Structure 1
Amino acid sequence: MTDWQSLDQSSLNVRVDPSTASSPSTDLLASKNDGLATKASSSSKMDAGKPPTAVAAGGSGAANETVGCEFSMERNPPWNGGQPAVEDSNGKIIDALQEDVGDSTFSPSPQLSKGNRGQHVLYISTFAVFGTVIRVFTGRLFGGDCGNTASTSTSVVADFVEPWASLVCVTANGKTDQTGGALFTDLPANMLGSFLIGVLSLMGTHRNRTNHPLPWFRADHPLQRHTAFHVALVTGLCGCLTTFASWNTQMVVMLDGTDTVLGSQPVPALFGYLIGISTAATSFLSGRHCNMLLRSRHRESLSSTRNDIPAVDTELGQPVLERPPPPSSRAPVQPCWLTRLLGIRVAPFLVVTVLIGAFVVGDVVYQVPFYRKMWISIALTPLGALLRWRLSRWNSKIVWNRLAWVPWGTLVANLLAAVLSAAAEAIGERYYKNDAWTFTIWKGVGAGFAGSLSTVSTMVKEMFAMDSPARAYFYATVTVIAAALLSLAVYSPIIRS
Structure 2
Amino acid sequence: MPACCSASPWGWLPSRAQLHTLLHLCAWCQLGVLARIQLDALFGGACATGASDYGWAPCVTSSVGTLLTDLPPNAIGCYIMGLLASSDVLAKHLGHAFGSGAPIAAISRRSALQTHTAFQVGLRTGFCGSLTTFSSWMLQVTVMVVGAAPLTNTKWVEGLSAVFLNYTVCMSFLVMGQHTCLLLYAWMNPGQVTPRGRWVDTAPPEPALNGADGGGGASGGGANENLVLVVDDRRPSSLLRRSPAAAAARATATANALARASAGASPRGAVVARGAAGDAAAAAAAADAAGPRSEPSALGIARTSSIQSALQPALSGVPTTITEVVVLEEDDFGYPLSWGLVDAFALTSLVTLTSVAIWWRVTRDPAHATPFAKSSHAVAVLLGPPGCLLRFYLSRFNGSLKGRCSWFPMGTFTANMFACTTNYVVRAVIDTAAPPFSNDKLAYLLGITTGFSGSLSTVSTWVVELQNLLLGFPVETRGYGYLIFSVAVALLLGMAILGTATWA
| TM-score in terms of structure 2 length | 0.65
Pairwise mapping of residues 17-36 of structure 1 onto structure 2 (< 5 A)? none
Q: Distance in 2 between matches of 1:391 and 1:321?
A: 27
Specify whether residues 239 and 194 from structure 1 end up closer, same or farther in structure 2 by C-alpha distance, changes over 3 A only: same
1:266 match: 156
Partner of 2:313: none
CA contact (8 A) 2:357 2:379 kept: no
Structure 1 contact 144–173 (Cα < 8 Å) conserved: no
Cα drift, residue 341 of structure 1: 12
- The whole-number CA distance in structure 1 between the counterparts of 2:52 and 2:491 is 31
| Match 1:186 to one of 70, 95, 105 | 70
Letter in 2 for 1:477: I
Q: Residue 69 of structure 2 aligns to which amino acid in structure 1? A: T
Matched, 1:465 2:445: no
- Considering fraction of residues, name the structure with more strand: 1
Q: How far apart, CA to CA, are the structure 2 residues paired with 1:163 and 1:355?
A: 28
Matching residue within 471, 488, 491 for 1:481: 488
Q: Residue 406 of structure 1: CA displacement?
A: 1.1
User: Which residue of structure 2 aligns with residue 336 of structure 1?
Assistant: none
Q: Once the 2 structures are TM-superposed, how far is the Cα of residue 261 of structure 1 from its aligned partner?
A: 3.9
With over 3 angstroms needed to count, the CA separation of the structure-2 counterparts of 1:341 and 1:292, relative to structure 1, is closer
Does the 8 Å CA contact 1:194/1:284 hold for their aligned counterparts? yes
> For 1:414-433, what aligned pairs fall within 5 Å after superposition?
414-431=416-433, 433=436
1:455-475: CA deviations, max 9, x gaps?
111011011112323211111
Task: Give the equivalent residue in structure 1 for 2:348.
Answer: 350
Task: Give the partner amino acid of 2:17.
Answer: N
- Contact 2:30–2:353 at 8 Å: present in 1 too? no
Distance 1:418 1:145, change over 3 A: farther
Q: CA deviation at 1:319?
A: 7.4
Please give the alpha-carbon distance, in whole angstroms, between the structure 2 residues aligned to 1:325 and 1:489: 60
Name the CA shift for 1:485/1:317 in 2 (closer, same or farther; >3 Å): farther
**1:391: which partner in 2?**
394
Task: Tell me how many residue pairs correspond in the alignment.
Answer: 362
Structure 1 residue 208, shift from structure 2 partner? 6.5
Q: CA deviation at 1:342?
A: 7.6
| Aligned partner of 2:289 among 297, 318, 325 | 318
> d(CA) in 2 for partners of 1:308 and 1:294?
32
Is the Cα contact below 8 Å between 1:249 and 1:487 reproduced in 2? Answer: yes
Which one of the candidate residues 56, 60, 68 is aligned to 1:170?
60
Residue type matched to 1:456 in 2? V
* Amino acid corresponding to residue 375 of structure 2 in structure 1: R
Q: Does 1:197 align with 2:81?
A: yes
Matches within 5 A, 1:69-468: 114-148=15-49, 162-165=54-57, 168-174=58-64, 181-202=65-86, 203-204=90-91, 209-261=99-151, 263-299=153-189, 311-312=283-284, 314=286, 318=289, 322-324=293-295, 343-367=341-365, 368-369=368-369, 370-397=373-400, 399-431=401-433, 433-466=436-469, 467-468=471-472
Change over 3 Å in CA distance of 1:313–1:187 after alignment to 2: farther
Deviation string 1:30-50 (CA, Å, 9 cap, x unpaired) is xxxxxx9xxxxxxxxxxxxxx
* Amino acid across the alignment from 1:430: T
Deviation of 1:415 after TM superposition, in Å, equals: 1.0
Preserved contact between residue 208 and residue 323 of structure 1 (Cα < 8 Å): no
Tell me: CA distance 1:460–1:308, structure 2 relative to 1, closer, same or farther (3 Å): farther
Question: Partner of 1:248: helix, strand, or coil?
Answer: helix
1:128–1:382 CA contact under 8 A, matched in 2: yes
Query: What is the DSSP-based 3-state SS (H/G/I as helix, E as strand, rest coil) of the residue aligned with 1:433?
Result: coil
RMSD: 3.3
The letter of the residue matching 1:239 is G
User: Deviations along 1:257-282, whole A, 9 cap, x unmatched?
Assistant: 13224521010001011111111111
Note the alpha carbon deviations across 1:428-487, whole angstroms, 9 max, x for none: 232273411111111111111111110111011011112323211111111001101112
Q: Which amino acid aligns with 1:405?
A: W
Within 2, Cα distance between the matches of 1:456 and 1:186?
10
CA radius of gyration, larger in: 2
Q: Is the 8 A contact 2:75 2:169 kept in 1?
A: yes
- Aligned-residue offset at 1:133: 0.7
1:233 counterpart SS class: helix
C-alpha distance in structure 1 between counterparts of 2:480 and 2:105, whole Å: 29
What SS does the aligned partner of 2:150 have? coil
The percentage of counterpart residues that share the same residue type is 27
2:296 and 2:374 map into 1 onto residues whose CA distance is: 48
CA distance in 1, matches of 2:7, 2:171: 44
Structure 2: gaps (5+ residues)? 193-201, 204-226, 231-279, 299-336
**Structure 2 SS opposite 1:164:** coil
From the superposition, tell whether residues 341 and 295 of structure 1 become closer, same or farther in structure 2 (CA, over 3 Å). Answer: closer
Counterpart contact for 1:201–1:213, Cα < 8 Å = yes
Post-superposition shift, 1:493? 2.4
Flag structure 1 segments of 5+ consecutive residues without an equivalent.
Answer: 1-35, 37-57, 64-111, 150-155, 175-180, 328-338
Q: CA deviation at 1:312?
A: 4.7
